[in-house]
Amino acid sequence: MPFHNLLVEDRGAIRLVTLNRPDKLNALNRETLQELHAAFEEIANDDTVRVVVLTGAGSKAFVAGADIAEMNGLSPIQARDFSRLGQQLMRRIELLGKPVIAMVNGFALGGGLELAMCCHLRIAAESAKLGQPEVGLGLIPGFGGTQRLLRLVGRGPALELCLLGQPIDAARAAALNLVARVVPAAELAAETFAMAEKLADAAPQALRGVLDALLVGGETSLEAGLDYETQAFALAFSTDDMKEGTSAFLSRRKPTFTGS
């Protein structure tokens, strides 16, 4: 399906989704949120896609936030719907069942950081700036930022970022475990795709099991989470890929995972 604000490209089993409103620093308006919903629905239903890389067009921004011009005219009811639209999209991405890497090539502010945080891995350029600056607009994060930031970095840094609204650089973001890796801007794409290739070669159902156990099982009690893990572990034994992975190890060869 053609998109106005997204570029979609396949590189083998890796789908690259690029937010493409560089003149507005890839700000998330309703149309873009809806297009992302559709793009991730397609990805969920396409077994040939094993990994997703999400990034922003241009060298300046990943995403500079929700679209402020659009928010300026919203009623409270419309704002609630806008928040829900963003939250549902981000939950959709988080529960995709396939790894999604945010390639953070510049500003990841407000909704941009929220979008990066619902991805499973974040790689940032050294020049990237990340933050939740909503208080400066008289707002609070509305696409899950308060909740995901809390879970990713803990209460102290989450409060600091959301209360002060001051963006942090990529090095500080790495120190807070907000990004997995920081690389020079010129190496960002190569590093990201090297990581994506590794994931594309892995057993898809094993990756899904890890994502489920951590993202769903991990939000319950320890007892329920452990039980969830056992179910996911047992399920892996129903796959050909588990037999392939263990057999390949025992015969000292490289496994080939088919996804079955």
Which of 134, 160, 219, 223 is labelled catalytic? 134
Tell me how far CA of residue 259 lies from CA of 81, 167, 243, in angstroms.
Answer: 37, 40, 12
Say whether residue 174 binds ligand COA (CB under 6 A).
no
Binding piece for ligand COA, criterion CB under 6 A, among 9-17, 65-73, 80-88, 97-105: 65-73
> Left, alpha or beta for 110 (phi > 0: left; psi -120 to 50: alpha)?
left
> What strands, in cross-sheet order, belong to the sheet with 168-169?
61-63, 107-109, 129-131, 168-169
Tell me how far CA of residue 21 lies from CA of 123, 177, 229, in angstroms.
Answer: 21, 28, 40
The one among 40, 62, 82, 107 contacting ligand COA by CB under 6 A: 107
The two tokens of residue 193 are 């795709």
Q: Is-catalytic flag, 9?
A: no
> With the C-alpha atoms ordered 81, 83, 87, 89, is the resulting torsion angle positive or negative?
positive
**Of 56 and 65, CB closest to ligand COA:** 65
Say whether residue 19 binds ligand COA (CB under 6 A).
no
| Strands 6-11 and 14-19, bridge-based pairing | antiparallel
Say whether residue 24 binds ligand COA (CB under 6 A).
yes
Q: Is-catalytic flag, 114?
A: yes
Q: What 8-state DSSP symbol labels residue 28?
A: B
As measured in angstroms, the least distance from the Cβ of 258 to ligand COA is 43
The one among 35, 114, 134, 241 contacting ligand COA by CB under 6 A: 134
Q: Are 169 and 128 in contact (CB under 8 A)?
A: yes
As measured in angstroms, the least distance from the Cβ of 62 to ligand COA is 10
As measured in angstroms, the least distance from the Cβ of 21 to ligand COA is 8
- Restricted to residues 203-222, the positions that interact with ligand COA (CB under 6 A) are none
For binding to ligand COA (CB under 6 A), which residues are involved? 24-25, 27, 64-69, 107, 109-111, 133-134, 137, 139
Active site residues: 114, 134
